[in-house]
Amino acid sequence: MSRIAGLALWLVASSVSAADAPPPPPPECENGVGQPVQAVPVDRFLETLGIDIHIDQGYPASSYVEPLRYLGLSQIRDGHRNVEAMIDVARKTGMGLTMIAFGDLDPYFAAVHEARNAGVLTAIEGPNEPNNFLLRYNGREGGRGKGWGVVAEYQRDLYARVKADPLLKDIPVFNVSETGAETENVGLQFLTIPDDAGTSMPDGTRYADYANVHNYASPPGGGFGPNQTWQAADPVLRGRWDSLAANHGRTWFKGFAGYDNAALANLPRVTTETGWVTTGDAASERLQASILVNAYLAQFARGWRYTFLYQLRDDEGGLGKHGLYAGARPKLSADAIHALTTILRAGGGTQGLYNGALGTTVETVHALGFVGKDGGRIMVVWNETTGASASVSLDLGDASALQVYDVSRGVDPVETRPVASRHCLSVGVNALILKW
């Protein structure tokens, strides 16, 4: 898979006169009627982008500052030990902090109070993957091999204490991750247990404001196919993904009933871990770069409030090559995410009514519309293909020049097209950013 994904952009209509209808597109651009792409402020997307770090586990806080500044993300996720160092990193990078709860609640609340008073606390998160990690609370053990009753009591008490705290009551609480692994039906598949749910915890028990899922783009058992991240982000699809439906619909381990599909589609939700492994060669780095950019885009398009990539550096928090950095070296994924955030923060094209429409019959092509900080118009188009590029038509609504960026090729335009109201693009595996 080439890093330069065969970008081809050519003009379909060169006339800008309102009296002259544009000529029909060539056969390769006959992609159906253009569908309007709704635009939202670009900051709404940028604020959702997060990354997992490991200051809590003793890695030097100073080593994270420059990589985080380079990536241009908005959120970091970590535990709660070494909180002063976390706060320092958050302030130096302008990022928000999500803090994972585990163990005694008193030290945890002392830490989140510090972060809140420092103005950097974004969210409070319940225990991480209790199916994989033992949880001790009130003299008892739960989680890995010990049952989920203690986990449920811990999350219930965490939520109640946050909402009773005048300093913290407005901070969102994320649920326990991997609720689909419940060994008994304690009801953690719900944010609040509904009436007659048949759970061992009482009806009305409140756990969280957001469901919390680890729907990795690399699913259990591996595999790579079309719409890889689009399917992982689907709120109702089960399939091979560790999905929202498998954790909060019908749980994947014991099949406990949760939300139906209608409720899942609108359930407040976050992803606190997703990622893709590299294998030490350039081809796997190119694939990771396109997958992780696509993951951020697909997650936002499909309604996820925050998305955190696991992780910033290889071999932290356990062995594994999920990192955007190999030691101090940025991988191609770090370069692509730097390009994505830098290009979007730089503003859009001209100010004006956003009326862009994208025409395609290819199910792996997706688009997001943004209004830049300067009011300029932006569209991001990506193609989750495993094969050839796809041809799409872009109708701008009014005649405008078009700047085209490819996130795999840096922060400068790869092409600037002359004024026209319609363009035809070939979209390969790397996301394109369009400004007009």
Q: What is the helix (H) or strand (E) element at residue 427, kind and residue range?
A: strand 415-427
Give the strand order in the sheet containing 49-52.
Answer: 173-174, 121-125, 96-100, 75-78, 49-52, 307-309, 269-274, 211-213
Cα–Cα distance between 394 and 392 in angstroms, integer? 7
pLDDT at 318 over 90: no
- Assigned token pair, 59: 């890695």
- Which residues in 6-112 belong to E strands, given as ranges? 8-11, 35-36, 39-41, 49-52, 75-78, 96-100
For the chain, domain boundaries? 8-30+348-435, 43-344
Contact 192, 204 (CB under 8 A): yes
Position 106 pLDDT exceeds 70:
yes
Contact between 180 and 170 (Cβ < 8 Å): no
Query: What does the alpha-carbon distance between residue 427 and residue 420 come to, in Å, rounded to a whole number?
Result: 19
Tell me which residue of 350, 203, 401, 368 sits closest to 296, measured CA to CA.
368
Phi, psi of 252 (to 5 degrees): -75, -25
Residues 6+ apart with CB under 8 A from 82: 55, 56, 58, 61
pLDDT digits (tens, 9 = 90+) for 32-71: 567 899 999 999 999 999 999 999 999 999 999 999 999 9
Closest among 263, 133, 117 to 189, alpha carbons compared: 263
What are 204-219's pLDDT values in tens digits?
999 999 999 999 999 8
Place domain 43-344 in its CATH homologous superfamily: Glycosidases (3.20.20.80)
Residue 425 tokens, joined: 């693009």
Question: Is 258 exposed, middle or buried, given 0-12, 13-18 or 19+ CB atoms closer than 10 A?
Answer: buried
**pLDDT exceeds 90 at position 285:** yes
CA distances (Å), origin 235, targets 181, 261, 267, 272, 363: 18, 8, 9, 15, 18
Whether 8-30+348-435 shares its CATH topology with 43-344 is answered no
pLDDT grade, residue 6 (50/70/90)? very low
Q: What is the pLDDT of residue 424?
A: 92
The overall average pLDDT reported for the chain is 91
Closest CA to 212 of 344, 55, 98: 98
Domain 8-30+348-435 grouped into CATH 1.20.1330 = no
**Closest among 305, 315, 277, 329 to 75, alpha carbons compared:** 305
Residue 4, helix vs strand vs coil = coil
Token pair of 284 as six digits: 């796997």
Instruction: Answer yes or no: is pLDDT of 387 > 80.
Output: yes
What percent of the chain is predicted at pLDDT more than 70? 92
pLDDT of residue 15: 27
What residues contact 21, with CB distance under 8 A and at least 6 apart? none
396-411 pLDDT, tens digit per residue, is: 888 888 999 999 999 9
The predicted pLDDT at position 10 comes to: 27
The bridge status of strand 75-78 relative to strand 96-100 is parallel
Distance CA 326, CA 332 (A): 10
Work out the burial of residue 136: count CB atoms within 10 Å of its CB; fewer than 13 is exposed, 13-18 middle, 19 or more buried: middle
